Chains A and B, each alone.
Chain A
Amino acid sequence: MITHEQIETLIRAALPDAVVETGDRTGTLDHYNLLVVSRGFAGMPLLDRNRLIYSALGDALKDGRLHAVEIKTAVPESGS
């Protein structure tokens, strides 16, 4: 099991400006929907965006706290 705050902390270690929304798919805190919004994704192909998030979540995925994630990514609409 892993909390929203823990997921957010792991992702922000890789993408400090990331805004992270999580949804618990199963009520068991180990299958999540993620929406990650970061300027760091600008110009980055979707495959590489998701690789970056998998890498940020690596330990939690390996030790089983997090079983599966569905990932959506976006760049903030305003450039500011």
Chain B
Amino acid sequence: MTPEMKSAIDAEIQANKILVYGKGTKTMPRCGFTLETIQFFQAFGYPFEVVDALADADKRQALAEMTDWPTLPKVFIAGKFYGDTDILEPMRESGELQKILDDTFAESRI
């Protein structure tokens, strides 16, 4: 991966408290798992961004290397990688995810 690609991805991750790299967009998801992830975060009510990584093979490869995770979607919260809803759903059930999101968005109100 080029340094430019890594910087661009790092900047995107920093700019969005919840960031989903998926296939397609919020309004036109092109994969069932991306749609599921969008619906998953809509239920929390916090703002989130979806970036379409389908069209850019170099970016998909860079993301896979950075996260050691081969598939899309990939979810980042407050700059940290959380995998996908296979990981996030058990965290939602335990209440852990609500706390992480509340803490993440509380900071911005100070």
Q: Which A positions have Cβ atoms within 8 angstroms of B?
A: 31, 46-47, 50-51, 54, 58, 61, 68, 70-72
Q: Which residues of A contact B31 (CB under 8 A)?
A: 68
Nearest opposing residue in chain A for B82, CB measure: A47
Q: Which residues of A contact B68 (CB under 8 A)?
A: 51
Q: Which residues of A contact B87 (CB under 8 A)?
A: 46-47, 50
Taking A47-B69, A54-B71 as known contacts, 4 extra A-B pairs with beta carbons closer than 8 A to each other, sorted by chain A number, are A31-B32, A47-B82, A51-B69, A68-B71
| Ranked 7 nearest A-B pairs via Cβ | A71-B86, A46-B87, A54-B70, A47-B83, A50-B86, A47-B87, A51-B68
Q: Which residues of A contact B83 (CB under 8 A)?
A: 46-47, 50
Kindly state the separation between the CA atoms of A46 and B32 in the bound complex, as whole angstroms: 22
Q: Which residues of A contact B90 (CB under 8 A)?
A: 46
Bin the interface of chain B by size.
Answer: 10 to 19
Q: Interface of chain A, helix or strand or loop or mixed?
A: helix
Q: Which B positions have Cβ atoms within 8 angstroms of A?
A: 31-33, 68-71, 81-83, 86-87, 90
Q: Which residues of B contact A72 (CB under 8 A)?
A: 86
Nearest opposing residue in chain A for B84, CB measure: A50
Q: Is the CB of B86 within 8 A of A70?
A: yes
Nearest opposing residue in chain A for B31, CB measure: A68
Q: Which residues of B contact A58 (CB under 8 A)?
A: 70
Minimum distance in angstroms from A72 CB to a CB of chain B: 7
Kindly state the separation between the CA atoms of A80 and B23 in the bound complex, as whole angstroms: 43
Q: Is the CB of B33 within 8 A of A54?
A: no
Kindly state the separation between the CA atoms of A50 and B86 in the bound complex, as whole angstroms: 8
Kindly state the separation between the CA atoms of A58 and B71 in the bound complex, as whole angstroms: 11
